[in-house]
Amino acid sequence: MSTSIGRTAAACVVAVIVAGAACVRDGTAQPAVTAQGRSVAIADDTASVTRLLRAVRGVDPLLCELATRNVDMHGSWSRWAPMNGDPLEVDSAASALIHWIQRDHNDPAVVPQLRAALADPDACVRRVAGSFLGRIDHPAALTALVGALDEPNADVRSVAALGLGLSSNQAAIAPLLRHLRDESAAVRRATAWSLGSLEASAALVPLVELLARDPDPKVRQAAAWALGEIDG
């Protein structure tokens, strides 16, 4: 298999999981319509389908429902809203939990548990905790995330930065700016993304410097994306 075909196959896996996109096994995408405007069949990558089905086999019911909804709605949660009373919705504890996750949140009672989870040994737990803290509309959540930016563990700092980017709170900008020079590339990348997500105009100059000088290509990529969000 050539390098280009290998890259295409890898892209197919991501596309099928995230958006149900169609790819072909030989690496050549098929057109959706002919020159005469007639619809044509689009060949699916069977290897990607196999991987997707293998990935969801035997998983926790919550993960199964999340995966199923992602496939059903081509990656767009909005296609299920409002979900109450939908006849296709699964009547299960997992469904109830998803309903709860999708609600607005402002109760500080959950902050201590989520703050502790930022240091959990499991990477997914840390990531979910950071994101959830970013969605809690309460000063205690912001304080927890800002405090976590100064943790010695770079993984904790990274998820805290991401959470701040999801918070839509402009008070997160100043503490984030300090971490554009973090020793960890993962933290710098998360910080750049978050400043772009917050459309922080104060970050324009430091992001340009990051784009020009950072040795990590993923950090530079995040800086370029952030600049587009801010300047757009």
25, pLDDT greater than 60: no
Report the alpha-carbon distance of residue 157 to residue 211 in Å, rounded.
21
Averaged pLDDT of the chain? 79
pLDDT computed for residue 70 by the predictor: 73
Report the alpha-carbon distance of residue 146 to residue 108 in Å, rounded.
15
pLDDT computed for residue 65 by the predictor: 79
Q: Where in the chain is the domain with CATH 1.25.10.10?
A: 108-231
Region of poorest pLDDT, from 123-132, 148-157, 186-195 = 123-132
30, pLDDT greater than 50: no
Report the alpha-carbon distance of residue 216 to residue 189 in Å, rounded.
9
pLDDT tens per residue across span 192-222: 999 999 999 999 999 999 999 999 999 999 9
Average pLDDT over residues 1-17: 37
How many Å from the N-terminal Cα to the C-terminal Cα in the chain? 40
Residues of the chain with pLDDT > 70, as a percent, come to: 72
Please write down the HEC assignment for all residues of the chain: CCHHHHHHHHHHHHHHHHHCCCCCCCCCCCCCECCCCCECCCCCCHHHHHHHHHHHCCCCHHHHHHHHHHHHCCCCHHHHCCCCCCCCCCCCHHHHHHHHHHCCECCHHHHHHHHHHCCCCCHHHHHHHHHHHHHECCHHHHHHHHHHCCCCCHHHHHHHHHHHHHCCCHHHHHHHHHHHHCCCHHHHHHHHHHHHHCCCHHHHHHHHHHHHHCCCHHHHHHHHHHHHHHHC
Average pLDDT over residues 108-129: 92
Average pLDDT over residues 33-43: 57
75, pLDDT greater than 60: no
Residue 81 confidence class, pLDDT cut points 50, 70, 90: low
CATH of domain 108-231: 1.25.10.10
**Which tokens go with 149?**
């930016």
- Return phi, psi of residue 41, to 5°: -70, 145
